[in-house]
Each structure stands twice: as C-alpha cells, then as structure tokens.
Structure 1
Amino acid sequence: MASPDSRNAELELEPEPEPDYHVLALNSGSSSLKFGLYRVGPLQAEVMLSGEADAIGDEKGTFCARDSRQNKLISETVWFASQREAFVRIAKLLAESDLPVPSAVGHRIVHGGARLRQHCVIDDWVVRQLAAAVSFAPLHIPSALSVIQFAQEHFPGIPQVACFDTTFHAELAEVARVLPVPRELQAEGIQRYGFHGLSCESIVHQLVHQLAHNLPKRLVIAHLGNGASVTAVRDGKSIDTSMGLTPTGGVMMGTRSGDLDPGVLIYLMREKKFDVAALEEMVDHRSGLLGVSGIGSDMRRLREAASVNADARLAVQMFCYAVRKQVAAMIAALDGVDLIVFTGGIGENDWESRAEICLGLSWIGVTLDQARNRSANKPISDALQNTLQNTIHDPASRCAVLVLASEEDEQIARHTWTILHPE
C-alpha cells in the first residue's frame, strides 16, 4: 500500500487541466467580414459561433450567424456602411450570446509584403509593416488594418495575431518563386508570394486526419471562388501556385483579370492614357467573369444566363478552361498527381464547373462519378466521418478527386493558439 507521502507526490505530478482558451477568428475581405469563436487547445479547435457580414457598403448586404451545430441563428438583410459597423454587430452578437470573452483574436491577412512571411503577434511594428505593404494587396490590406484597429479598441489588452495567406508558400524553391524581372526589382521583394494559403493549410489538415496521416504525395488544390487559385502540394508543402506578386494574378476570377499579357497594360497606358488608378480599377474590378460577360461576377447568375446569353456562356467556359490549364500545369510541376481537391465557393458548390474542368483532364486518367459530383454540392461539415461522401471520382479514375470545405477561420484559430502557446 502506498504511503501518504507517495500518494501526495503522485497528486503533485498530475498535470492540472488547462483552462478553456477561446479565439475569435476574423477573416476580412474587401467587402465582407467572416468570424468564428473557437474553443481551442493543442489537439482541436471547436467552433462555438460563426457567421459573416457580406456585401458591406451595399444596401442589400447580409448578416448571418450559426451556432456550434451550424444551425442558423440569424439571417438578415442589413446595410453596413463600413467594416467598423460590421465588427460592432459581431461584438454585440457575442455579448448577447452569453459566450466567453475571447482570450485572443486572430486575423486573416492576405499579404504581409516581403518582411512579414510568418504568422505573428500584432504589435506596432507589425502594423507599420502592414501599412507599408498596402500596395501589394490594395483590395484587402486596408480593410484588414481597420478590423485590427477595431478589435484592439473593443478588446483592449487581449493579444491579436496576424495569420498570413502567404505563409504556406513562403518556402517555394527559386524556380517557382523568382519572377523573370531584373535582379534589382527581385531584391525589392518582387516575387511570387502565392495566396489562399490558409485555405490550403485547412485542406491539408483535413486530409491528414481523414487519411490517418497518409497524405497523398502529389496534391493539387483548386480554390475557386470570387478569388481563385490553383496550388501544387508535395508531401504537404506548397511547391508552386498560380497567383504571383499579388492576388490579381493567375486564373481569371470574378472581377480580376488573372494573368494578362503585360503588353496589354503598356498599350492602355500609351494609347488610352490609362494611369495607375485606371489600370488597377480595370484589372481588379472590371475584368474576369464580369468583364467578359458584361452581366456580373457571380457564377450562379452566369450559369442561369448562359443558355440565352453568349457572353455569359463564354465567361463560364473561359473560367473552366483557365482553371483546367492551371491544374495541368501544377500536375506537370508535381510530375503527376494523386489527388485533386476542389474548395472555395465555386469549387464546393458548382458541380458543373467541376465537371467541365475535369472533363479536360481525362488524358491524365481523371474520371468523375457524375452522380457523386452532383450530390457533393454541399460538402459534409463533418468530413472526418464522411470521407466517401466527399469523393467524386469514378472508381476507375487513376486520380482521386474530392470536394472539401475550406476552413480558413478554424485554421486562424489554430495558428493563434500555437503562436501564443510556444513549446
């Protein structure tokens, strides 16, 4: 029988349970603000409340919120004049929901420029670096900076963490990273940065857990939404990606041109007297699906119009064609492919786009099960328990194809916990 002293020693050695740690993840876009409150620990991130303020600045903006089981709590049409008003609504909801005050706040930052390549705690120096990097992502960084300021004002003293979309691509080899411009420009940080890194990380995280850590060696991730990119992943690490210096590059997108012959820009400057502001407005706001169709940037609207509108039909065809070419390019970079994952708003919800993209990949042995592809329009939230439901390839396909929901906010919560709990 153990002595009292030995029992006391055993009790002293038992680790005390860690207190609950809650992270508010904020994912700001140029006209949207997604949020999620997570209970986070070393092994998991559990969502408690999530939602989104969309179409900020539009009279037909929306605000929605869901509980931990993804049941809808709020769905309303509301006009938010700015990111600040959207943040105030989110803070009010958190207070009314009787949920814990966040222990920390994590922010998605699209671009940190040349100096900010790793996730980090936000301090005055980081804010200054972000302000200096606005020219890299003028659509995204100003709104992110404003949200950081609002969060610091509303939650004083609570640590704030910056999670960068570029971090996943920070170790690209020179052959993929270096752009073919003069060396002096390369030295100033003009290079391929890559984006949608948090989305890619979330896909890799899900696959590692679904496949019992047996991650496919050669993976292509097609993040298709209003912004779109295709990334080649070998052994869980990015080796190439379609976006370059800015989120405007790569495949054509909702309103962004994607890769464009630089001679087009020179022509517009010389012959049409476009200045920087006019060029930026064109390539970021008036090109892509919107520019080709003349109707809009929403793939759902374009598909509805495609049967009677040739321009809408062409826009859809060009988008799928551009993605297919980039997928093929990434397969070449990987020297083959074991798995293709579709994610993002279009990738997760538009079965027709997935079918059109994969139809042109039959040469590599990609074949879809059409019934599965149609039924995968709404990816199962608990993918860990429903891997088969997310599989859309035919059994005879030489390459697996999955539809997985991007979980950027959960990834932000994980990174925030990790940064603030160093080993």
Structure 2
Amino acid sequence: MADIILTINAGSSSIKFAAYEIDQGKLARLALGEIDGIGGKAHFSARKGNDEKTGFDLDQSHIAVDHRMALTAVMDWLEKEQNGANVIGVGHRVVHGGPDYCEPVLVDTAILAQLRSFEPLAPLHQPYNLAGIEAAHDCFPKAAQVACFDTAFHRRHPFIADTYALPREYYDEGVRRYGFHGLSYEFIHRILRHEEPVLARGKVAVAHLGNGASMCAINSGKSVGSTMGFTALDGLPMGTRCGQLDPGVVLYLMREKKMSADEITDLLYKNSGLKGMSGISNDVRDLEASTEQSAKDALDYFVSRVRRNLGGLCAELGGLDCLVLTGGIGENAVNVRKAILQNLEWFGIQIDFAANARNERIISEKGSPTVVLILKTDEERMIAAHTAELLNLKEPLVPAIA
C-alpha cells in the first residue's frame, strides 16, 4: 500500500485535489481531480497519471454533497485506483495566514481557531478552506493536516510595502497589504533558482495571470512587493474581480445606489473584471474570439494594467533582470503576452515575437537586458512539497530559498 500525500484546494462549491507518492526522495504525482457542484449537483472528475479523465455524478439521493462527502469520494476513488492508499499527510491551500504565519504549519485545534479568526479578511475563501481541513480530518484521521498559506511568501515585506496611509492602529489590528498567490510565486522562484540560479539571485518580477491575476516583485529570493493587498480584490483586473478601485466608488454604491455590503461584494468579486467590462465572459479565449468592441476594451484594459503594474514593480526593485509569465493566461495567451510586452525596449525588454508565438520557454531576444520566461506554475506540487518537508519525509522539491 503506497504512502500518499494529498493536496486539497477547497472552495465554496468545489474541491480540487492531487495525490503524490514519494518515490526515491521525489514527489511523483499519481492523480489529479476535482469535485464540482458541492451543495448541489456534485460531479467527480479525475485522472490517474497521464490517463484520460474519468468522471461520475455523486449520489445525492439522501443528502446534498458537502465537503466531507466529497473527500470520502476522493478516498474511495484513491483506494480503488491505487489498490489501497495510505494518506499520511494532507496539504491544504489556505488563502489567508494573517499577520502571523510566514510558513506552513501542522494544524491543531488552537491553530484552526486562529485561522478562523481571519475569515473576515477573506470571506469568500477562508471559511471553505477551513471546512476542507475539518472534512479531511474526519476522512483521514491518522494523517497530518498541513496548512499552506497564499499570503506566507509575502510576509517578510518591508513595512512600507505592507501598510496603508491609515492611522497606525489599523495596521496593528491587521489592516495591511498581505499579497496573495504566494504558493505560485514560491514554486516559480524555486524552479527559477534550480534552473536559472544567477537570475534567481537578482531582481525578478513574476506575473501570475489567470482568472485570478496578480504580480510580485522578488529581490534575492524575497518578495518585496505585490499588486494584491488587504484582499484578493486589489491590483490587476481579473476574470470576475475588479482589481484596483477608488474606495470612493464603494462609498458611492452605498450612498447613492443604496447597495448592501453583500450586493457590493457580489458585484466586485463575481460580476466585475473581464466579465463585467465585456458583458460576455471572464475567459480570455472567448473575448479574443469575439467581434464585440466591449471584448476588445476589456482585453485592452487588462493589458494596460499589467504594463502599468510592471513599471511600478520595477521601480520597487530598482531595475529588472528577469520577468516570468505564468498562470493560464501567462502560459498560453500568445496575443495577450504580445500586447503586454511590445514596445518595451526602452525598459530593457526585447521580445522575440516568433518565440512568443511558439510558446517557447525563453521569449526574449538573445542579449536582451531583461530575460523573459514562460514557466508553468504548480501550486498543488508546492503544497505537496511543503507537506513532505514539514513531515521530514524528503529533501526539498528543489534547493530551498535561503
């Protein structure tokens, strides 16, 4: 029976999971899957190794599927597909670690209670992340539960990168810039350090561009700035989230439009961004295929904001040695990348547009002062690596950041 590390990314209506075996000191991914429609018509889909994805609807004849029932389905599937599976550790993506957590932790009752106190800081993510931990504890009672935080990579920011221009008491209460997508940034930097150690020691900007989007400035392996702030709403426009917004707009919506906090939350998190601007879709592929002006406007706005924030991060770094593009858009959207990177020679970025069109790993011209890379992120593997490292089961995935 194989010893397995399971990774869980639990949301309000879905659970994404991956299963890894430690094989000769390295993580070997055995399976990847997702349960959609928790609380409603739940559907399980997964693939083992490189096999074709299979799926089935979960039985809801007696009661609606919750997180615990969803993880029970994962456990049953793993035992069947692996001819027995011993889950020894479960690594969880937890969006918010608050001001205290700068590295993964083993979860116990006290820590779970503290993480629950951060729910007001991430109301659309944190409660469901913690529900996943509780469900995993029920399903895998002998396994260690490890919380891996999306904010942890940014927790050593200098004060000026974390604060807002509010009275200091609010900062002390936790109203500060946290930054998110830290698991993705940490994975990218580990890979960069392994494959391009000279660049990794320099000034690096990483653009995590997907349905959720942000950018991070990394200097000598440490995050020194992020486009996201107190919540995952800030910074770049995203699939359905607004990105940077004058707080006066929120006051206007409250006073003039008489919108409630819940209505504003729904607007800013679920009905803004590319979806709201275009009135068509949150998917870049749909917008690129559309002939509507609103689709073009939404993409143009996204591109302009990425370019503007790139300039800001470079000012924060005091220069730029390497730019990495990752995430679904960063890794695949050739035309969006081209629009972001064109005419930046003055900035030290010289792009080989033929290489960009071929989705090559290096898309900057030879001799470009700034090297531009496309790297595939893998947050699940980062969570698995953290879990294994915390349990002293293996050496780091690649050389750890000092």
Do the structures match in fold with TM over 0.5? yes
Cα 1:142/1:114, change in 2 over 3 Å: same
Partner of 2:71: 87
Report the alpha carbon displacement of residue 96 of structure 1 after superposing the two structures with TM.
1.2
Q: C-alpha separation between the residues in 1 aligned to 2:316 and 2:279?
A: 35
Partner of 1:368: 351
Report the alpha carbon displacement of residue 187 of structure 1 after superposing the two structures with TM.
1.2
Greater shift, 360-369 or 328-337, is seen at 360-369
Partner of 1:165: 150
Whichever residue aligns with residue 275 of structure 1, its letter is S
Out of 375, 379, 400, which is 1:404 matched to? 375
Report the alpha carbon displacement of residue 39 of structure 1 after superposing the two structures with TM.
2.7
CA deviations 1:194-243 (Å, max 9, x no partner) are 11000001001111111257624010000011111000000111000000
Q: C-alpha separation between the residues in 2 aligned to 1:337 and 1:139?
A: 34
Partner of 1:317: 300
2:324 partner SS: strand
Report the alpha carbon displacement of residue 281 of structure 1 after superposing the two structures with TM.
1.1
Please say which structure displays the higher CA radius of gyration: 1
Partner of 1:23: 5
CA contact (8 A) 1:55 1:62 kept: no
Partner of 1:239: 224
CA deviations 1:91-149 (Å, max 9, x no partner) are 22211112531211110111122344431011111211222211111121122112112
Q: C-alpha separation between the residues in 2 aligned to 1:257 and 1:402?
A: 27
Whichever residue aligns with residue 320 of structure 2, its letter is V
CA contact (8 A) 1:328 1:361 kept: no
TM-score for both structures, normalised by structure 2: 0.90
CA contact (8 A) 2:236 2:305 kept: yes
For structure 2, the residue ranges without an aligned partner over 5 or more in a row are: 59-63, 396-402
1:163 partner SS: strand
2:245 partner SS: coil
Verify: 1:179 aligned to 2:164, yes or no: yes
Whichever residue aligns with residue 343 of structure 1, its letter is T
CA contact (8 A) 2:334 2:357 kept: yes
Q: C-alpha separation between the residues in 2 aligned to 1:357 and 1:96?
A: 47
Q: C-alpha separation between the residues in 1 aligned to 2:39 and 2:358?
A: 35
Cα 1:212/1:326, change in 2 over 3 Å: closer
Out of 30, 38, 45, which is 1:63 matched to? 45
Out of 361, 373, 377, which is 1:390 matched to? 361
Q: C-alpha separation between the residues in 1 aligned to 2:57 and 2:303?
A: 33
Percent of aligned positions that are identical: 38
1:194 partner SS: coil
Superposed, 1:141-160 pairs within 5 Å as 141-160=126-145
CA contact (8 A) 1:23 1:413 kept: yes
Cα 1:21/1:77, change in 2 over 3 Å: closer
Whichever residue aligns with residue 26 of structure 1, its letter is I
1:258 partner SS: coil
1:106 partner SS: strand
Q: C-alpha separation between the residues in 2 aligned to 1:85 and 1:41?
A: 30
Report the alpha carbon displacement of residue 41 of structure 1 after superposing the two structures with TM.
7.8
Partner of 2:110: 125
CA contact (8 A) 1:341 1:403 kept: yes
Whichever residue aligns with residue 373 of structure 1, its letter is N
Q: C-alpha separation between the residues in 1 aligned to 2:364 and 2:39?
A: 41
Report the alpha carbon displacement of residue 332 of structure 1 after superposing the two structures with TM.
1.0
2:134 partner SS: helix
Q: C-alpha separation between the residues in 1 aligned to 2:44 and 2:121?
A: 28
Aligned residues: 388
Whichever residue aligns with residue 365 of structure 1, its letter is G
CA contact (8 A) 1:64 1:72 kept: no
Partner of 2:398: none
Whichever residue aligns with residue 355 of structure 2, its letter is R
Q: C-alpha separation between the residues in 2 aligned to 1:327 and 1:226?
A: 18
Report the alpha carbon displacement of residue 60 of structure 1 after superposing the two structures with TM.
9.6
CA deviations 1:64-87 (Å, max 9, x no partner) are 3240xxx13424475795544543
TM-score for both structures, normalised by structure 1: 0.85
Cα 1:77/1:405, change in 2 over 3 Å: farther
CA contact (8 A) 2:35 2:70 kept: yes
1:103 partner SS: strand
Verify: 1:33 aligned to 2:12, yes or no: no
Report the alpha carbon displacement of residue 401 of structure 1 after superposing the two structures with TM.
0.9
CA contact (8 A) 2:42 2:65 kept: no
1:135 partner SS: helix
Partner of 1:381: none
Partner of 2:387: 416
Q: C-alpha separation between the residues in 2 aligned to 1:55 and 1:224?
A: 25
CA deviations 1:20-76 (Å, max 9, x no partner) are 853111123444422222234896322222233456568696723240xxx134244
